[in-house]
Amino acid sequence: MAVVWRRVFTVLGLVGLCFFGIPIKVDKNPEIQKEELFKEFLQRFNKSYCINNKTEYAKHYNNFKESLKVIDELNQGRSTNHSALYGITRYSDLSKEEFLHLYLQPRLHDHLHLKKQKQIHNSQKYYFGLSKRALVDDLPMHVDWREKNVITEVRNQKTCGACWAFSTAATVEAMYAIRTGILHKFSIQELIDCAENGNSGCEGGDTCSLLEWLVDKKINIVLDNEYPLVWRTQTCKLKGSEHVIKIASNFSCEYLVGSEDEILKLLAHHGPVAVAVNALNWQNYLGGVIQFHCDGGPEHINHAVQIVGYNRSAPVPHYIVRNSWGAEFGHNGYLYIAIGSNLCGVATEVSTLDVL
Ligand SMILES: *[C@@H]1O[C@H](CO)[C@@H](O)[C@H](O)[C@H]1NC(C)=O
Ligand SMILES: *[C@@H]1O[C@H](CO)[C@@H](O)[C@H](O)[C@H]1NC(C)=O
Ligand SMILES: *[C@@H]1O[C@H](CO)[C@@H](O)[C@H](O)[C@H]1NC(C)=O
Ligand SMILES: *[C@@H]1O[C@H](CO)[C@@H](O)[C@H](O)[C@H]1NC(C)=O
Ligand SMILES: *[C@@H]1O[C@H](CO)[C@@H](O)[C@H](O)[C@H]1NC(C)=O
């Protein structure tokens, strides 16, 4: 096991992700090594809970050791240097259950808007008279909306479980910028506080029911600085303002499992999309393309993110996915997910929108 960690840290060093220089001494006993890693971890992430509390220390140290085991297992599947690499992150001292409850939505699958309709929304709807090959051949090899200056900076949702609002707001901002050429931050807090239709602020919600509510109620979305983020659910303060936008009624929410070419087409010809995902194994994600260990079944969906592009010329063709866990996560806040097999459930619920 020690050998595998050494490999992980070696790779880390090589790709420049390792800014904490842990000297791995192979002559040490594994328990001491683990404890040293844990102490480095506590320092690096300013975890203060352990200073005076032995119970807390023991609990988190055990979780941390469990994470080391999981990291080892996840890294077993790496086939190339481009494959996802897992290692120690700021979340590595949490148990899977704690991570799920603090950063994800354990019961999101119950609320998935499309779950009931997914038999209807089937792949036949697309590819009408178009072979898969022809469709893909017509698309650019590479799309990245970040290059067009229509993507705002990566946000950090902290422990507010409003991924559904973060991913939707990011898409609103992008579509507004594509339409007007102006990049504005819109209020996520307004969505957190006010969205009805089954949504419950930092306790959870769903992108599609949010869009439905925005359109049905003709909601004005205000700028971020007029209704700033506080990371908790407050009383709704809907207000008019000079700079407001509305969502066009023709938004879409599609089940595109088996039709990921359609996602590529949306990304190439329309703009970024918001998607529901399973992010459980992102707890220890450092970078690279996720190709394995990310179950896409609807029962595993627990998070929502935005896809801002794709790269089909890469050795492992992948989506470029923007998360809402700050710029520290993955590649400056982004991660890569392989195209084509509903990895992490990316095709389960895909939302597009236009702004008025
Ligand atoms: C840890 O705390 C120090 C001093 O308070 C601060 O400079 C540093 O940015 C913090 N690091 C993290 C990862 O929060
Ligand atoms: C230490 O942490 C445990 C578990 O979170 C808590 O119940 C206990 O009150 C803490 N003890 C002190 C001295 O803070
Ligand atoms: C991975 O990267 C390392 C260091 O850059 C290189 O030595 C090795 O050959 C690469 N392996 C593959 C499979 O590309
Ligand atoms: C949706 O409606 C808006 C406003 O009428 C329009 O600009 C846009 O092109 C439409 N989008 C699609 C995908 O049809
Ligand atoms: C696509 O990925 C490949 C391999 O990672 C990389 O070399 C290339 O620069 C990427 N394309 C673009 C346009 O970023």
| pLDDT for 123 | 35
Question: Is residue 75 domain-shared with residue 150, that is, in the same domain?
Answer: no
Cα of 21 from ligand 3 centre, angstroms: 20
The partner residues of 311 in beta bridges, in order of sequence, read 142, 318
| Beta carbons of 113 and 253 less than 8 angstroms apart | yes
Cβ partners under 8 Å of residue 54, min gap 6: none
Ligand 5 atom having least distance to the Cα of 82: 5
Dist CA 169 CA 185 (whole Å): 8
The partner residues of 83 in beta bridges, in order of sequence, read 289
Rounded to whole angstroms, what are the CA distances from 198 to 115, 208, 260? 15, 11, 28
Dist CA 129 CA 294 (whole Å): 32
Condensed to tens digits (0 to 9), the pLDDT of residues 134-143 reads 556 789 999 9
Question: Is residue 18 domain-shared with residue 57, that is, in the same domain?
Answer: yes
% residues pLDDT > 90 (the chain): 75
Count the domains in the chain.
2
Show which of 100, 117, 133 is a domain's final residue.
100
Which token pair is 308? 């801002």
Pocket probe mutation, ligand 4, options 178, 354, 355, 356, max atoms within 8 Å of Cβ: 354
| pLDDT for 48 | 82
Please tell me the number of the ligand nearest to residue 85's CA: 3
| pLDDT for 110 | 75
Reduced to 3 states (helix: H, G, I; strand: E, B; else coil), residue 272 is coil
* Exposure class string for 190-201: b at 16+ Cβ within 10 A, else e: bbbbbbebbbeb
Residue 304: phi, psi to the nearest 5?
-135, 140
Question: Is residue 87 domain-shared with residue 129, that is, in the same domain?
Answer: no
| Beta carbons of 311 and 146 less than 8 angstroms apart | no
Dist CA 342 CA 81 (whole Å): 22
| Beta carbons of 202 and 231 less than 8 angstroms apart | yes
Question: Is residue 81 domain-shared with residue 169, that is, in the same domain?
Answer: no
Question: Is residue 112 domain-shared with residue 62, that is, in the same domain?
Answer: no
Question: Is residue 26 domain-shared with residue 132, that is, in the same domain?
Answer: no
Please state the pTM of the whole predicted model: 0.87
Residues having CB within 6 Å of any atom of ligand 1: 45-46
Show which of 51, 66, 100 is a domain's final residue.
100
Q: Is 269 in the pocket of ligand 4 (CB under 6 A)?
A: no
Question: Is residue 122 domain-shared with residue 42, that is, in the same domain?
Answer: no
Dist CA 346 CA 304 (whole Å): 9
| pLDDT for 114 | 59
| pLDDT for 328 | 95
Question: Is residue 90 domain-shared with residue 112, that is, in the same domain?
Answer: no
Crossing angle for the helix pair 54-76 and 30-44, to the nearest 10 degrees: 110
Condensed to tens digits (0 to 9), the pLDDT of residues 325-343 reads 999 999 999 999 999 999 9
Dist CA 220 CA 55 (whole Å): 49
Question: Is residue 90 domain-shared with residue 120, that is, in the same domain?
Answer: no
| pLDDT for 138 | 85
Question: Is residue 245 domain-shared with residue 338, that is, in the same domain?
Answer: yes
Question: Is residue 92 domain-shared with residue 114, that is, in the same domain?
Answer: no
Q: Is 159 in the pocket of ligand 2 (CB under 6 A)?
A: no
Cα of 55 from ligand 2 centre, angstroms: 7
Task: Sort residue 231 into left (φ over 0), alpha (ψ -120 to 50) or beta.
Answer: left
* Ranges of residues in the chain whose predicted pLDDT is under 50: 1-25, 115-133
Helix (H) and strand (E) counts in the chain: 10, 10
Q: Is 102 in the pocket of ligand 4 (CB under 6 A)?
A: no
Annotated active-site positions, please?
163, 303, 323
Strand 142-144 with 318-322, pairing: unpaired
Show which of 85, 100, 115 is a domain's final residue.
100
CATH of the domain at 264: 3.90.70.10
First to last CA, the chain: 56
Reduced to 3 states (helix: H, G, I; strand: E, B; else coil), residue 350 is strand
| pLDDT for 325 | 97
Query: Could you list the residue range(s) of the whole structural domain that residue 8 is in?
Result: 2-100
| pLDDT for 108 | 80
Question: Is residue 160 domain-shared with residue 270, that is, in the same domain?
Answer: yes
Q: Is 182 in the pocket of ligand 3 (CB under 6 A)?
A: no
